[in-house]
Amino acid sequence: MQAVARAGFRMGGVLAGVLSLALCRPADAACDPVSVELGPPALTFQEGCQIELRAWAAGSPPLFYQWWRDGQPLPGATNALYAIPSFTVFEMGTYQVSVSNACSQRTSASLELILSPDAAPPRLQCALALSAHQVLLIFDHAVVAGPASAYQFEPNVAVSEVRVLPQNRSVLELTTQTALTPGQPYRLTVLHQQDTSGNLQQPDPSATEVMLSEPAQLPPAGELALKPVCGYLVLAWQGEGVLQQASSPAGPWMDLPWASSPFVWSIAPGHCQYPAPAAKRFYRLRLPP
């Protein structure tokens, strides 16, 4: 940049008037305007599908992104990638992405995500003891939290709280009143479970085995714990930190500001995913300064 100053005039030895600065861009620093493409006008998915929307943008860097659904900005959705770990009725709608740089701003064409009707009851895929008081139940599609009495452990461990993971509604988090014993196998029976479409899983006489491995706690603050289980990747951490994703250890690394611990992502080949999963995926934590 070059600064060109225009001064005022002197009156009695005092500078009067207005001092203005005009910034001129050198000819060799031209700014290329932004262009952006999103995808087909509409896509239809079953409930529970794992979806990644990517903005294909070009223009002079740096590029800034903001995703929208039904005309409203999505909090934290400020990267080229927007991921939906488990598609439900809550994610239905019309998506767009706005991209800008120093000299232009463009908004993509609309992409509508449509949910196909679901009549199948939810099915428990597996369970994972993440810590001494924390057990994750992973279902094949989105569910609602049932009463604590619907989840029974043998040997007996009382459940005090049941919640749906906000970033992946196919996963329930059970909080137990008493600590699980490391190395002790537990049998977990789900008496009944409802999905977000109202379909109800009837009592299942079979039970899922849950066992807490050593160590019996989450990793220290700033460290990332990786636990692959039954075709899913579970990442857990404590304290502040933004999860990042890349297709190579060398990067480029992309923030996933919407992701929180525990983060559950399917890596099973048969799971409904769009687009087809990449061969490799790497994760790390970006710690605050």
- Domain 35-115 adopts which CATH fold? Immunoglobulin-like (2.60.40)
Q: Tell which CATH classification among 3.90.420.10, 2.60.40.10, 3.40.50.720, 2.60.40.1220 matches the domain 124-211.
A: 2.60.40.1220
Beta strand spans in 140-241 (E): 151-154, 159-165, 168-176, 185-190, 193-194, 200-201, 208-211, 225-229, 232-236
The per-residue pLDDT for 277 is 65
Q: What percent of the chain has pLDDT above 90?
A: 40
Q: What percent of the chain has pLDDT above 70?
A: 84
Report the C-alpha gap between 241 and 289 in whole angstroms. 10
pLDDT category, 278, cuts 50, 70, 90? Answer: low
Query: Tens digits of per-residue pLDDT, 11-41?
Result: 344 334 433 333 444 444 689 999 999 989 9
Q: At 6, which amino acid appears?
A: R
Report how far apart the first and last C-alpha atoms of the chain are (Å, whole number).
30
Query: Tens digits of per-residue pLDDT, 52-61?
Result: 999 999 999 9
The per-residue pLDDT for 214 is 53
Q: What is the pTM of this model?
A: 0.75
**CA count, 13 A, side-chain hemisphere, 239:** 13
Report the C-alpha gap between 44 and 227 in whole angstroms. 31
User: Could you tell me if 126 and 230 are in contact, meaning their C-beta atoms sit under 8 angstroms apart?
Assistant: yes
Per the document, the length of the chain is 289
pLDDT category, 146, cuts 50, 70, 90? Answer: very high
Residue spans per domain, the chain: 35-115, 124-211, 225-286
DSSP-assigned letters across all residues of 16-30 = ES--EEEEE--TT--
pLDDT category, 202, cuts 50, 70, 90? Answer: confident
- Residue of 243, 241, 249, 255 whose CA lies nearest to 281: 249
The per-residue pLDDT for 279 is 62
Q: Do domains 35-115 and 124-211 have the same CATH topology?
A: yes
The per-residue pLDDT for 164 is 94
DSSP-assigned letters across all residues of 100-135 = E-SS-EEEPPPEEEEEPP--SPP-EEEEEEEETTEE
Tokens of 63: 């590029």
Higher pLDDT among residues 212 and 225, named by residue: 225
- In whole numbers, what is the pLDDT of the chain averaged over residues? 83
Residue 5 pLDDT more than 70? no
The per-residue pLDDT for 8 is 37
